[in-house]
Amino acid sequence: MASRAKQVSGSSRGPAWLNPALGKKEARQAVAYAIDYDGIITGLLKGSATRPPSFIPVGLGGATETLTKQIGYRLDPARSKQLLEK
């Protein structure tokens, strides 16, 4: 089976938003607020994980378990909908 890939040049520090639907910051934030991270950790993973405060996992770059309680995305469907309306 043949497949095609689009080559993207530039920095490799972060994702290249090739999908126009995710090109806007608000759209990406809306997706983040629509995911029940804590529910996934509790239900699917049986509590065997820690929700990271960002894309940096706990233990790297100053990310701590304390930060997971202070910052980061949490399930908020109303906020998600509000962001999509922008």
pLDDT digit string (tens) for 58-77?
Answer: 888 888 888 877 787 889 99
> Does 54 score more than 80 pLDDT?
no
In this structure, the chain runs to a length of 86
Listed by start position, the domains of the chain span 24-84
CA 46 to each of CA 5, 33, 36, 49, 77: distance values in angstroms, whole numbers, following the listed order: 37, 21, 14, 8, 23
pTM: 0.66
CA 59 from centre of chain = 18
Mean pLDDT of all residues in 7-18:
60
Other Cβ atoms within 10 Å of 83 Cβ, number: 20
Other Cβ atoms within 10 Å of 67 Cβ, number: 15
